Structure 1
Amino acid sequence: MRFYLAVALVCLGACAQTPNHALIYSKEFGKSPDLAEPEPSVLPTARIARAIGFKAGEAPTPAAGWTVNRFAEGLTHPRWLLELPNGDLLVAETDTPRDSGGFSGLKGLAAKLMMRYGGSNRGSADRIRLLRDTDHDGVADLNVHLVENLHSPFGMAYRDGYLYVANTDALLRFKYPLGEDSIAGPAEHLTDLPALPYNHHWTKSLLFDSTGRRLWIGVGSNSNIAENGMEHEEMRAAILQYDVESGELSVYASGLRNPVGMALHPETGGLWTVVNERDELGDQLVPDYLTEVIEDEFYGWPVWYMGGNKDERVLAQGIDNNTRPRDPDYALGAHTASLGLDFYDYPHPSLRHAAIIGQRGSWNRSQFVGYKVIAVQFDTGRPKDALPVTLLDGFLNEKGQARGRPVGVQALGDGAIVVADDVAGIV
């Protein structure tokens, strides 16, 4: 069996390796990262790769033994993916909500300009697209808009004839028989989701537990380190739990600054997430991380980071918490923007049960990091204490421009991996 990446772009020959320094800072990766001393700053370091997209004939570089092809292109900021039980692929075409405040004042204006330079905050398509490969050649031959007029949709989940969609401010569901190429019926509003100003981390990810009785929702913080006050952080920086039968919404686990990708480990059934950590403590702080999420556990934000390290800036705001948090399982490098997560449940000799992670890439570090799809290898349900394997690289060109930025990832049942590239507009 030949393994391949059904991801961003065609790579028909030798593709040049482009500069990417993520693993130079290898001490930021693994089960016991060597943390640098904090270097607090009023503003984060700003170095963002200009978004230019891939040109015809250009491609990222796959790992040895893998090939890459375009599954679909010409999309508008595709960020998140869901494989349906019949093999169809859904893509959330989405961006920052129009009414999102983000940072306030001059800091907010600067952040928005940098986001646009890097390929975001240019208006949200607010839709979900259906892709279907009917002849199994690795290219979608059906490409249609399934649901439109949403509000910065992100997370998607499917169960028992219903498609669940997480807008930035509400959980919806649609009656949807598998195989249909449109949804005619109206949305059913299930519950509001936290979206008060500033709605800083606007994405809301979704995942059903193994029973289908509860739906987990990843909700990021409304700030960097609660500088707007904890009253703006109610039911945020957490994974929420929605009971499908009762409609009750509650906190499943807390202290997770921005938990985005979520996945069930295929061997243990445990819930895992990747978390984007805080800014403005220097180039090498704080590493994003991959961790198992245990019900009712506290993971530290905003007071603590990477286990038992207290953020003095938060203490200076008069916020403290003496509850020792749970240590994260595996550090993924500072400012790598680790977003997508899925487990590889296919008999590959080295990737069996590995965590596949899309690292969208830094915007606030003096040297670029991330801009990769990586795999963290697992053994008996736990991460190995080793550097991650790079599966797909070369999203930066020799000038440090972003030809693409990988976000959502999905490991398919046939061994392929699909990746949403929101700069190139390609899946």
Structure 2
Amino acid sequence: MAGVSDKARFYLERAAPELREFEEKGIFSKDEIRTLVAKRSDFEHLILAPGTKPDDFLAYVAWERSLDRLRAKRCRRLNLPPRASASSSRASQARTFGIFERAVLKHPGSLPLWRAYLDFAAEARASKRWRRVAARALRLHPADAGLWALAGRRAARAGDMQRARAHFLRGCRFCNREPTLWVEYARCEMEWLARVEARKRGESGGKGVSALEAIKATEAVQEGDVIRFDDGEGEGEGESGDEDELMLPDPDAEGPGVKAKPKVFDEETARKMEQSPALSGAIPMAIFDVARKQPFFGPAAAEAFFDVFAGFGNLSSQEKIVKHVLEAMEELFPNHPCTCSCQIRQPLIGVGVLTAAFPKALRESLARLKDALERTEDRKALAEKMAACVGAILATEGLDPAIKTVLEHTKRSLESPS
């Protein structure tokens, strides 16, 4: 154990200057500092000893973060200058990053550790470190759909749909045993379509714009906020490592002796962009069509796609996309409860529960329910699905009393044994 003690002492001594600062500024008393040193020593011996578990590292991180929150609270109470608080915060953040780094090096197969590391990096707004850690995690766990979805969604939020699609497509090659990543990819594309249409209609502020301008606005990339698999993650752990990388000159830069580049998109290209299949739902439908050929595809997977597409009521292409999925389900699983459930709910898609159009849509849906219960291959499963759907509508505040009465009667009949 001598080796463990020496290593623990090494890490404890690195925090000594910060502890002296705590005492000098009156943030913690001598007794409190003695207590926290003992606690930190216990954690260091625990994670350095043989047989340590990922939960031991997570407990250490949780304690360090709670200590930092206490320090920040006392700094505010003592009215210490922001610079003093910021230096201590950076030191605590660096120490937490160090614990996570040691954790994933010791337990590279622990997905909870990698996810906790990524969550902390995102919370700390350490974008460059986040993408380095994500790239390492994905190399070690290429079959984990959650990590690929996390990377794709972060790229999409940063405005880089090209990079987001690359992550999703690469992940879908590895994750073809269950539909989670494929459904998330479809959801991401639907969200992109919703943002583009909102920009076109001017709902995001300002007046409406063309499809080309809407796409440009939604894909304003926040540089450094997406992961790349070819940017040399192993060149150091600090955030400043990227600052000294060799940067190629910008070919679009303007300056003396540089000719202005012609516009890439002329009027003809812009007109074609308005009629692009991508803006009419071609990408989500293509994702679904490719998913049909995967080992995981079945009624439940198809219903998961249907549920995602049904949630985007403001899209002009929603009806076509939903119809495409439902036609495939009717062809492959005509009387399955999942298919019947989607058929029953189709008239209600995009119709607000409190709007005047809802009673007519509900009447059509209830007629389909009666027909589906007679022909489905599993009446009980369908009844359970529809009872849950009716219950969700009944939870809406301000529901018309007559509609509420009809739905309550329908729910009771679905829940009663046949």
Q: Which one has a bigger Cα radius of gyration? A: 2
Q: Normalising to structure 2: TM-score of the pair?
A: 0.24
Identify, as 1 or 2, the structure richer in strand: 1
Asked which structure has the greater RCO (Cα within 8 Å, sep 6+), the reply is 1
Identify, as 1 or 2, the structure richer in helix: 2
